[in-house]
Structure 1
Amino acid sequence: MILIFKYIFPSKFCGMAIYPFIFLKNKALKVDKKLINHEKIHLKQQVELLWIFFFVWYFFEYLIKFIRYKNHAQAYKNISFEKEAYSNESDFNYLKNRKYFAFLKYFK
């Protein structure tokens, strides 16, 4: 289910997945197939990790990457969940063929 809620986003972000919802900054983004696919990949990751563990892992991985890189954007882009989503957001068949816990191959 896609919801529009422009007030929860930092300026550079357009979407966010919190199972079972995809929140978008504005209505126009509903047609952005790449963004929607990116967020659907996050929904799949959340299901695999029983939702709460996804967010705990996400937070700690971000924290570790932030300490390593000392830069928010670089830390964010290097989170394994984000690396999987960005790497596959243009492949609209990815979720049909995705293996369980595929984000682990991006974890370093």
Structure 2
Amino acid sequence: MKVIFNSVIPFNGFTCINLFGILFVRKGCVMTRTDFNHEAIHTAQMKELLYLPFYILYVLEWLCRLIQFRDSRKAYRAISHEREAYDNQGNQDYLTARKPYNQFRKLWH
């Protein structure tokens, strides 16, 4: 995964953003192996969904979760893509054994 450290993307207050498999990290932020693994899981999700559908599904699910929880942070953490990444970010071998479309395994649980 290509990593670009800069002072523009992401906006202030955010550490990083993964856009089409390129990780933009805010200058001065420290990224751990766990952080990089989390973003690598997102990159795998993007690739299997051919990138653009990943973002469409991500936003649509966030909107549904926002209605469900009425809390933007809870909605974000409940997105299936985020649940898979957070649940497995500490496992550095996860991507070698990951099954395709695994983020949808627990979609509405």
Query: TM-score, with normalisation over the residues of structure 2?
Result: 0.90
Question: SS at the partner of 2:61?
Answer: helix
- Measure how far apart 1:16 and its partner are: 1.6
User: 2: distance between equivalents of 1:27 and 1:42?
Assistant: 23
Give the structure 2 partner of residue 5 of structure 1: 6
Query: TM-score, with normalisation over the residues of structure 1?
Result: 0.90
Please tell me the residue identity of whatever aligns with 2:105. K
Give the structure 1 partner of residue 15 of structure 2: 14
Greater helix share, structure number: 1
Give the structure 2 partner of residue 60 of structure 1: 60
Judge conservation of contact 2:45–2:54 (CA < 8 Å) in 1: yes
Give the structure 2 partner of residue 71 of structure 1: 71
Question: SS at the partner of 1:29?
Answer: coil
User: 2: distance between equivalents of 1:26 and 1:46?
Assistant: 25
Instruction: Give aligned-pair identity as a percent.
Output: 28
User: 1: distance between equivalents of 2:81 and 2:21?
Assistant: 17
Please tell me the residue identity of whatever aligns with 1:93. D
| Structure 2 residue 106 is the aligned partner of structure 1 residue 106 | yes
Tell me, which stretches of 5 or more residues in structure 2 are unaligned?
none
- Measure how far apart 1:20 and its partner are: 2.7
Judge conservation of contact 1:15–1:35 (CA < 8 Å) in 2: no
Classify 1:52/1:80 alpha carbon distance in 2 versus 1 (closer, same or farther; 3 Å): same
Classify 1:80/1:10 alpha carbon distance in 2 versus 1 (closer, same or farther; 3 Å): farther
